[in-house]
Amino acid sequence: PSITRGVTKEISTVSWDDIGGLKDLKKELQKAVEWPIKHAAAFSRLGISPIRGVLLHGPPGCSKTTLAKAAAHAAQASFFSLRFIFKQCYILEGKTAHFHCSKNIGFLSYKLYSKYVGEGEALLRRTFQKARLASPSIIFFDEADAIAPKRTGPDGNSSGNVTVGERLLSTLLTEMDGLELATGIMVLAATNRPHAIDAALMRPGRFDKVLYVPPPDVEGRFEILRIHTRKMKLAEDVDLWKIAEYTELFTGADLEGLCREAGMAALRENISATSIHNTHFQAARSSLSPSLTKAVLD
C-alpha cells in the first residue's frame, strides 16, 4: 500500500475462493448481493425489488468482514467500510473508506479519528453520497451493534452512547430508506451481538436478510488451512486434515495464526529451513489457544 496525505491505496484480492467452508452461505450472498448488482437490468425487467441490506452475525474471526469484501469483489462494486466505536460521549471513528477506481478492484482507503459528536452522522451521509456516486457500491458496517444499539425506553439508559447511537441510527435509517430510489447499492453489516441491534433496522427494506456465519466445522477448518498454506512450503508429513481435526474451537483467524506460527517455528529451529514440518504445526498448536468456547457451538 502507498500512503499519500493520509490516503492509503490498496488492491483487494479477496475472492470467494479465499474463504474456506461456508458453501451455502456464499451461495446465499451471491444471490442476495452479487446478483442484484451484476444483473440489475434483469431485476428491473422482472420487477423484482432486491433486498437492501444483509446482516451477518456470528463469533469474531469467522470471516464476516472477509465475506463482505468477497461479495464486493465478485460484484465489482466499490467497497466502503465503516466502524464506529463509542467512548463515553465521544465517537472514536476507525474509518476506512474504500473506493473502487477501475475495472480491477482498486481501493483507496483512509482512516481518521474524530472526537466530535455530530461528525458521525455527517460521515454516514457522506459515505452514502459517495456510494451513490461510485455505484455499484457496498457499504459495510463492522460492529453494527455500535452504530445501531437497541434503543431503550424514555426512562432507559441515557448515557452519551445511547444519544449518539440514536442519532446515528436515525441517520442510517433515513439513508437506508432513501436507497429505494437508488440502484446498485447494498448495505452489509456485521455483528457478534445481533440481539443488541435495534429492531427498526430489521424492518422490510432495511436488513431484510440475516445470515449466521458459524465457526468452521472440520471440513471448513481443512479448507481454511489449505487456503492459508497455499503459499507455504509444506513437508510431506504435514496432514492438513489431521490438523483440522485437532483444532476444534479454532476460528478462521486462529487458523491463519496457527499457519503463521508453524512457519515461525520452522524458522526458529533453523533459519535456513526450506520446508515446514508436522512438528512445527504441533508446536504451534500447543502454543496457541482457540478463541471459541464450547458454548458457541451449542
CA–CA distance, 89 with 208 (Å, rounded to integer): 30
21 binds ligand ATP (CB under 6 A): yes
Shortest distance, position 178 Cβ to ligand ATP, whole Å: 27
**Residue 81 in contact with ligand ATP, rule: CB under 6 A:** no
187: nearest Cα among 169, 165, 209, 213: 209
- Least Å distance, CB 264 to ligand ATP, is 17
Our finding on whether 238 is near ligand ATP (CB under 6 A) is no
Q: Rule CB under 6 A: choose which of 29, 32, 37, 62 binds ligand ATP.
A: 62
Across 139-153, b (16+ Cβ under 10 Å) vs e yields bbbbbbbbbbbbbee
Identity of the amino acid at 189: A
Q: Which of 253, 273, 288, 296 binds ligand ATP (CB under 6 A)?
A: 253
Work out whether strand 96-97 and strand 78-87 pair parallel, antiparallel, or are unpaired.
antiparallel
Task: Verify binding: residue 95, ligand ATP, rule CB under 6 A.
Answer: no
CA atoms 175, 182, 135, 26: torsion sign: positive
Residue 93 binds ligand ATP, judged by CB under 6 A: no
Contact between 50 and 185 under an 8 Å Cβ cutoff? The reply is: no
63 counts as binding ligand ATP under rule CB under 6 A: yes
Q: Taking the CA atoms of the chain, what radius of gyration do you get in angstroms?
A: 21
Applying CB under 6 A, which of residues 52, 64, 98, 206 lies at the interface with ligand ATP? Answer: 64
In the complex, the smallest distance separating the C-beta of residue 254 from ligand ATP, rounded to whole angstroms, is 8
Backbone dihedral angles phi then psi of residue 186, each to the nearest 5 degrees: -130, 140
Q: How far apart are CA 144 and CA 170, in angstroms?
A: 14
Contacts of 74 (CB under 8 A, 6+ apart): 15, 16, 30, 34
Residues 6 or more apart in contact with residue 16 via CB below 8 angstroms: 26, 30, 70, 74
Q: Which is nearer to ligand ATP, 21 or 263 (CB)?
A: 21
Q: Which stretch binds ligand ATP (CB under 6 A): 16-24, 84-92, 96-104, 151-159?
A: 16-24
Q: Count of H helices and E strands in the chain?
A: 12, 10
Stretch near ligand ATP under the rule CB under 6 A, chosen from 62-70, 122-130, 149-157, 280-288: 62-70
CB of 76 closer than 8 Å to CB of 18: no
**Which is nearer to ligand ATP, 24 or 155 (by Cβ)?**
24
Query: Shortest distance, CB of residue 231 to ligand ATP, whole angstroms?
Result: 13
21 or 184: CB nearest ligand ATP: 21
Of the candidate residues 29, 51, 66, 234, the single one contacting ligand ATP (CB under 6 A): 66
C-beta of 65: minimal distance to ligand ATP in Å? 3
145 binds ligand ATP (CB under 6 A): no
Applying CB under 6 A, does 224 fall inside the site for ligand ATP? yes
Closest approach of Cβ 136 to ligand ATP, in Å?
21
> Which residue's CB comes closest to ligand ATP?
252
Distance, CA of 170 to CA of 152 (rounded, Å):
14
Q: Which residues bind ligand ATP (CB under 6 A)?
A: 19-22, 60-66, 142, 190, 192, 216, 224, 227, 252-253, 256
